[in-house]
Structure 1
Amino acid sequence: MLILHKFNNINGLMDADAIIIGAGACGLMCAVQAGFMGKKVIVLEKADQPGAKILISGGGRCNYTNLFATEEQFISANKHFLKSAFKQWTVEDTISFFETYGISGKEKTLGQLFPDGKNARDVVAVFTDLCREMGQEIRCQANVLDIEQTAEGFTVSYEKNGKTVKLHAGKLVMATGGLPIPKMGATDFALRYARKNELKIIATAPALVPLTITGKEETWYAQLSGNAVFCSISNDRIAFEESLLFTHWGLSGPAVLQISSYWRAGETINIDLLPNKNIIEIIEQERSEQGKTLLSTLFNRYYTRKFTEAMAKFLPMDKPVAALTKEDMDTIHSTIHLFKVKPAGDKGYDKAEVMRGGIDTNELSSKTLECKKIPNLYFGGECVDVTGWLGGYNFQWAWASGFVIAQNL
């Protein structure tokens, strides 16, 4: 299917209607949607292939949206900013779009939608195939050097294979992603460009990131490396019920990644290691049926043997449940339901899935994502101060922002 672009090459000076910097989820969706509208775009990507972060998402399976995505699952200085974009491009739109091109969703945990029988490469192929059909160019290994605003729009200079190339377009889209996983080419390019043009930036930090434990507690956590526990994890801001994974340097797993976006240095995290149950009631029931049962035997019904052995540091595991004192019971309750952790820090951008903070949403139109101070400049995806929960939420924002921008190119 060939779509003829209504591209207006003014005096032979313009190379495209728009230049998109970044061939991630936002940039690819923007390119495709612009093509549907007859707009010609050129996408510049620093990496050697498009969709690098898409390809590693969900362990290569790509949880490409979440059935429950609303603005409530996002962190932003202005939580209402998302409403317009999510009305213009809904979860249903995402599902329908991918179904149209052969990818049906299969729901996993907590609304996460994965391609049924396919994977992340198939997701990326949807975009690259459409771009090829519509004549939208994706230029990889293109390192953007400079952006110049002109009377007609923008001139973007980039380097490829040792040569500098200049492109001219009336509009410019910043879809460069955030700082996580720098080994895949992540940079602060959008943030630097924003600062250069005096746009406000909300302080950035790693999010959806493992947390570290150091000092005298480090050995205790390290001995449990590889053990997982389903828990309720919380702080003063929010709570999540998911699995926690012990590692040789601290804590990871879905529960920890989720809470990390809301954690600040120096704060304590609360963990209920047996959510939706009451450990005291369980012990009392066991007492009435078999008082000789050791506390360790009872614990092994709910936890791994390794975890039970490690909890002996805090609890009288070698005691029969009938012999437990009131003081023992109080200690057991507080340890299991009110376990407290004070992380030393996080694993940084190398291990973070997304970036918290970014371009202040007050600098952008919520309806078009156009920069208020710089006409014809748009920001979308992760470089904007919009950070979603784990589980496909950030993809939904990327697809939506790419769509919204395309409608206004």
Structure 2
Amino acid sequence: MAQLPQHHVSTLILGAGAAGMMAAAHSGAGVLVIDHAKAAGEKIRISGGGRCNFTNIYCDSSAFLSENPHFAKSALSRYGPYDFLDLVNRHRISWHEKTLGQLFCDTSAKEIIAMLRAEMTAVGAELWLETSISSVRQSGDKFCALVEKQGQAREIYADHLIVATGGKSIPKMGATGLAYQIAETFGHRVTDTRPALVPFTFDEGQRARFAALAGLSLPVRAKAADAEFDEAMLFTHRGLSGPAILQISSYWREGQEITLHIDPETDFFAVLRGARGESGKRSLHGVLSDYLPKAFVADFGQTQSLAGNIADCSDARLREIVEALQDWRLRPTATEGYRTAEVTLGGVATDGLSSKTMQSTHIPNLYFIGEAVDVTGWLGGYNFQWAWASAVAAGAAIRAKRQA
């Protein structure tokens, strides 16, 4: 059998997303990054509405879900939001802060991709796109990846292997479970995975109700399990979305209820009592419509009678109305799944990785970084910061080995 063409590198990185490109820029010389996509950083390109929410200035380990809630502390403490912001500034990318510490590009997410590509070029890293991976194995003290590029099979031999192929979210962008397959091949445990930061769907009756409100946004305090978030909620034709809903989806489990507190900043009992004293001839519907969208109030009135003058409402009745606004309980049937999920919850178990270097604890020179690992952040730039931090941790460890 004819020998396949071989390519030898110091470090092979699987995946040209945020984590993979960042790792390439920090791993020293002799780096090759491969990806099956036609372009690098496709998830970066579509993120943040095309402007990339590239970090969050309030990022710390408390904003991450993992079997080991302490695992992310080491990498995040050594490469934080301001470290990445310094890189952005050096590349003269203009940015702005939105709510809750979220940082976005002023113009385009493509600037972040160009920055990472420039950082890779500066250290001489190669990038092979449209390159599929058939298998990965150990060959002596090296790793061997069988790949196909331009219709030709090749073997790539590397001293170090970084797996940065992400999770299963947004399969139309090429996401697969490859990282988990590779992890299991090398004896690593993979935790249960599921879609996270994803909209909820409901049964047919509830869905028809929400469809009439599709496009309407409200401030809410959304709760699921032990988590709660104060952000916006969006009605869709399929159910509920918006930042508050995406946040609690990471904590929700099938069959559980969610609780919504509508407009938590407004003291509706005080509002209604005040209106009763000052304009008693007004209806509950009219008063609530001063603070909430009329379409929502009309829908709310289908379950809570809002007819009659507010002057005729007792304190007890007003409290009933307010309680319904503060404790709206719903039971989603499911989520929209990986199709629209921003990230994958779970992944390569952290008990098999070094929190300092992201290296396998039983296979030297094997690293897992980014979304592939069982570290999942909140919405708002946290997952990008984990990608940057875990990539730098692995890259710095490899560079230090080569220099030793």
Same fold (TM over 0.5): yes
Residue among 201, 206, 214 paired with 1:212 = 201
Measured after TM superposition, the shift of residue 326 of structure 1 is 5.2
- The AA in structure 2 aligned to 1:164 is A
Map of 1:10 onto structure 2? none
| RMSD (CA atoms) | 1.5
Check whether the contact 1:65–1:112 (CA below 8 A) recurs between aligned residues. Answer: yes
Measured after TM superposition, the shift of residue 14 of structure 1 is 6.5
Report the Cα distance in structure 2 between the residues aligned to 1:100 and 1:387, rounded to whole angstroms. Answer: 28
Check whether the contact 1:48–1:140 (CA below 8 A) recurs between aligned residues. Answer: yes
The 5 Å alignment of 1:70-109 reads 70-109=60-99
Whether 1:26 aligns to 2:19 is: yes
Render the CA deviation track for 1:241-297: whole Å, top value 9, x for unaligned: 000001111100000000000100011111100203322221100011110111111
- The AA in structure 2 aligned to 1:74 is F
**Any idea what SS the aligned residue of 1:358 has?**
coil
Give 5+ residue unaligned stretches, structure 1. 1-12
Report the Cα distance in structure 2 between the residues aligned to 1:274 and 1:193, rounded to whole angstroms. Answer: 46
Report the Cα distance in structure 2 between the residues aligned to 1:226 and 1:281, rounded to whole angstroms. Answer: 29
The 5 Å alignment of 1:4-403 reads 15-34=8-27, 38-115=28-105, 117-325=106-314, 328-403=317-392
Report the Cα distance in structure 1 between the residues aligned to 2:330 and 2:163, rounded to whole angstroms. Answer: 39
**Any idea what SS the aligned residue of 2:144 has?**
strand
**Any idea what SS the aligned residue of 1:180 has?**
coil
- The AA in structure 2 aligned to 1:29 is M
Report the Cα distance in structure 1 between the residues aligned to 2:122 and 2:362, rounded to whole angstroms. Answer: 35
Measured after TM superposition, the shift of residue 329 of structure 1 is 2.4
Measured after TM superposition, the shift of residue 174 of structure 1 is 0.2
**Any idea what SS the aligned residue of 2:346 has?**
strand
**Any idea what SS the aligned residue of 1:15 has?**
strand
- The AA in structure 1 aligned to 2:246 is L
Render the CA deviation track for 1:128-170: whole Å, top value 9, x for unaligned: 1232343211111111111120123111111122211111110
**Any idea what SS the aligned residue of 2:53 has?**
coil
**Any idea what SS the aligned residue of 2:308 has?**
coil
**Greater displacement, 301-310 / 128-137:** 128-137
Check whether the contact 1:62–1:114 (CA below 8 A) recurs between aligned residues. Answer: yes
Check whether the contact 1:314–1:335 (CA below 8 A) recurs between aligned residues. Answer: no
**Greater displacement, 134-143 / 44-53:** 134-143
Render the CA deviation track for 1:203-247: whole Å, top value 9, x for unaligned: 100000000011432222221111111011113311100000011
What is the aligned residue count? Answer: 394
* Poorly superposed stretches of 4+, deviation over 6 Å: none
Measured after TM superposition, the shift of residue 185 of structure 1 is 0.6
Report the Cα distance in structure 1 between the residues aligned to 2:61 and 2:306, rounded to whole angstroms. Answer: 45
**Greater displacement, 131-140 / 207-216:** 131-140
**Any idea what SS the aligned residue of 2:32 has?**
strand
Check whether the contact 1:214–1:249 (CA below 8 A) recurs between aligned residues. Answer: no
Q: Structure 1 residues 171 and 14 mapped into 2: Cα distance closer, same or farther (>3 Å)?
A: farther
Report the Cα distance in structure 2 between the residues aligned to 1:217 and 1:114, rounded to whole angstroms. Answer: 35
**Any idea what SS the aligned residue of 1:33 has?**
coil
Report the Cα distance in structure 1 between the residues aligned to 2:312 and 2:77, rounded to whole angstroms. Answer: 60
Report the Cα distance in structure 2 between the residues aligned to 1:356 and 1:319, rounded to whole angstroms. Answer: 49
Check whether the contact 2:29–2:123 (CA below 8 A) recurs between aligned residues. Answer: no
Taking only the aligned residue pairs, the percentage that are identical comes to 38
Render the CA deviation track for 1:318-347: whole Å, top value 9, x for unaligned: 221112245632431221011111100000
**Any idea what SS the aligned residue of 2:193 has?**
strand
Report the Cα distance in structure 1 between the residues aligned to 2:381 and 2:236, rounded to whole angstroms. Answer: 24
- The AA in structure 1 aligned to 2:71 is F
Render the CA deviation track for 1:14-40: whole Å, top value 9, x for unaligned: 621100000011000011112xxx422
**Greater displacement, 270-279 / 375-384:** 270-279
Check whether the contact 1:315–1:328 (CA below 8 A) recurs between aligned residues. Answer: no
**Any idea what SS the aligned residue of 1:79 has?**
coil
Report the Cα distance in structure 1 between the residues aligned to 2:259 and 2:14, rounded to whole angstroms. Answer: 41
- The AA in structure 1 aligned to 2:80 is T
Give 5+ residue unaligned stretches, structure 2. 1-5, 399-404
TM-score by length of 2: 0.95
- The AA in structure 1 aligned to 2:86 is S
Report the Cα distance in structure 1 between the residues aligned to 2:225 and 2:319, rounded to whole angstroms. Answer: 23
Report the Cα distance in structure 1 between the residues aligned to 2:108 and 2:308, rounded to whole angstroms. Answer: 50
